[in-house]
Every structure is written in C-alpha cells, then in structure tokens.
C-alpha cells in the first residue's frame, strides 16, 4: 500500500460471528475530494468506494465506522460542517485520537520450525550489524526464536547492536520485546524509533504516517515518539 494511504481501522460487524467479512476504513492523502475509502473483503473478493468526510459519516455508514473503531470521524465531520469549509486529508488525520489503534498487528507467527543454524546466523548478523542479512532472517522467526533473541538483548549494548535487534524484531508485539522497544524510543537511529512506536502502540499503519516521499521524516517520527511518551503514567 502506498505511503499516501493510511489505514484508519479494521473490523467485523457484530452479527458476523464467523468473521467472514473484514471491513476497513482508509484515509487517502492524495485524494482530497474523496479522502475516505470504506471497503469489505470476503476471501479473495473485495469491494470499496471513496467518500467525502460527510458522506462517510452518514447514518447508513454508522455500523461500518463503529465496527472499525472509526466513530471519531463523526465528530470530525461535525467540526467540518461548523467550519464552513472542507477539511484536507491532513486535517482529518491530525484529529485522529492518539489512542486509537488503526491497524491490526501482524498475524501471530505460526509454530514453524526454523532452518538449521538459524539462531547462530541471527546472532552473527546482529553482532555484525548486517541489516541486509537481518531483513531476510525476519522470515525464519518463530515464537521460540523471538523469545530467545529478546532474552539476549541488553540495555547496555552499543546502539548499533540494539538497532540491529530492533530491525530484526520489528514485526513482533510479544511481551518479551516490550523492554527492547521502550529503549529503542531513545535510539539515535530514526528507523528504530519508528519501529518502536509501531510495536508499542500495536499500530503498524503509523509507519506510513511517518513517511515523506517514501522515506522516514525525522520530525514526524519524533512527534509520534513524544505523543507516545506523553501518554505514559
């Protein structure tokens, strides 16, 4: 999905007990005329349409919005009506509540058997800070490997090594990686800070919101880090 498309929510209707049809709501930064899309996916079949903010919050859309955790758009639509002008997609995005998780975390890892010697390869790649090798090794991870690797992480390691851990485990949300990513919020490397925000909020679409022209924007990343830190007790 391009960086100009940001997931606002996913869900199922209450009566869809088998969860056969997944609903979604997205915001399109490059379509100011109809910035909100609402779709349905059932197996390989998917449908969707684009709407203005006012159209997307009409009564007939209420169930879809509620199922996707996007009721907050109705308040934004009310603000838009009172303002007497059309909000830009960016103005809609900035009004998204910071506590709303807008994207489901990656599916839980299957209990697959990693290739022989995978743990040693991972240890060597982390020690060498070989990020190209690390990217490929993410595909061999299973729950047991994640726990073992996370247990070997230490807060007093050099930042380059800690950034390697953050790059390897960037798709994980298990309790065992939480301390690693709390620490990564302070990393001098912008990528690690961005991964940390996504993992700790379990909102992986935030990564798209931190991109500008296909690359991470440090100011946007730091704004997300500050917003996360402000919610800590």
Q: What is the reported pLDDT for 1? A: 37
- 16 and 56 in a single domain? The answer is yes
Q: What is the reported pLDDT for 2? A: 40
Average pLDDT score over residue span 27-46: 88
- 139 and 206 in a single domain? The answer is yes
- 148 and 223 in a single domain? The answer is yes
CB atoms within 10 A of CB 232: 6
For the segment 51-110, what is each residue's pLDDT rounded down to a tens digit?
999 999 998 898 899 888 898 998 899 988 988 899 999 999 988 886 544 455 454 445
Q: What is the reported pLDDT for 148? A: 95
Average pLDDT score over residue span 173-198: 94
- State the virtual CA torsion across 94, 100, 103, 109 in degrees, nearest 10: 140
Number of independent structural domains in the chain: 2
Q: What is the reported pLDDT for 207? A: 83
Residue 10 lies in a domain: yes
Q: What is the reported pLDDT for 218? A: 92
- 134 and 83 in a single domain? The answer is no
Residue 113 lies in a domain: no
- 135 and 89 in a single domain? The answer is no
Q: Read off the pLDDT band of 209 (50, 70, 90).
A: confident
Beta strands in the chain (DSSP E): 5-11, 22-28, 36-42, 45-51, 211-212, 215-216
SS3 of residue 21 by DSSP: coil
Residue 102 lies in a domain: no
- 212 and 137 in a single domain? The answer is yes
- 88 and 124 in a single domain? The answer is no
- Burial classification of residue 129, based on how many CB atoms lie within 10 Å of its CB (0-12 exposed, 13-18 middle, 19 or more buried): middle
Residue 152 lies in a domain: yes
Q: What is the reported pLDDT for 3? A: 53
Residue 99 lies in a domain: no
Task: Calculate the average pLDDT of the chain.
Answer: 87
Structural domain ending residue among the three candidates 59, 94, 129: 94
Residue 20 has pLDDT above 90, yes or no: no
Residue 196 lies in a domain: yes
Predicted structure pTM score: 0.56
- 15 and 88 in a single domain? The answer is yes
Residue 71 lies in a domain: yes
Containing structural domain, residue 226: 118-230
Residue 154 lies in a domain: yes
Residue 222 has pLDDT above 80, yes or no: yes
- 151 and 221 in a single domain? The answer is yes
For the segment 130-176, what is each residue's pLDDT rounded down to a tens digit?
998 998 888 888 889 999 999 999 999 999 999 999 999 998 888 99
| d(C-alpha 76, C-alpha 87), whole Å | 9
DSSP state of 171: T
Average pLDDT score over residue span 30-53: 88
């Amino acid at each position: 999905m391009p960086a100009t498309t940001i997931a606002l929510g996913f869900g199922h209707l209450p009566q869809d007990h088998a969860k056969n049809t997944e609903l979604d709501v997205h915001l399109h930064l490059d379509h100011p005329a109809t910035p909100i899309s609402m779709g349905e996916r059932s197996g390989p079949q998917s449908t969707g349409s684009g709407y203005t903010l006012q159209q997307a919050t009409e009564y007939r859309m209420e169930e879809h919005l509620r199922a996707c955790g996007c009721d907050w758009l109705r308040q934004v639509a009310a603000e838009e009506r009172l303002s007497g002008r059309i909000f830009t997609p960016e103005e809609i995005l900035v009004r998204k509540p910071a506590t709303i998780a807008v994207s489901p975390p990656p599916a839980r890892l299957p209990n697959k058997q990693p290739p022989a010697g995978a743990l040693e390869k991972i240890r060597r790649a982390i020690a060498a800070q070989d990020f190209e090798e690390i990217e490929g090794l993410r595909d061999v991870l299973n729950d047991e490997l994640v726990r073992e690797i996370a247990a070997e992480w230490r807060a007093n390691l050099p930042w380059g090594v800690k950034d390697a851990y953050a790059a390897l485990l960037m798709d994980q949300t298990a309790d065992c990686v939480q301390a690693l990513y709390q620490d990564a919020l302070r990393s001098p490397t912008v990528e690690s800070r961005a991964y940390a925000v996504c993992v700790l909020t379990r909102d992986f679409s935030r990564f798209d919101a931190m991109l500008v022209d296909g690359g991470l924007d440090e100011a946007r990343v730091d704004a997300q880090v500050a917003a996360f830190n402000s919610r800590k007790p």
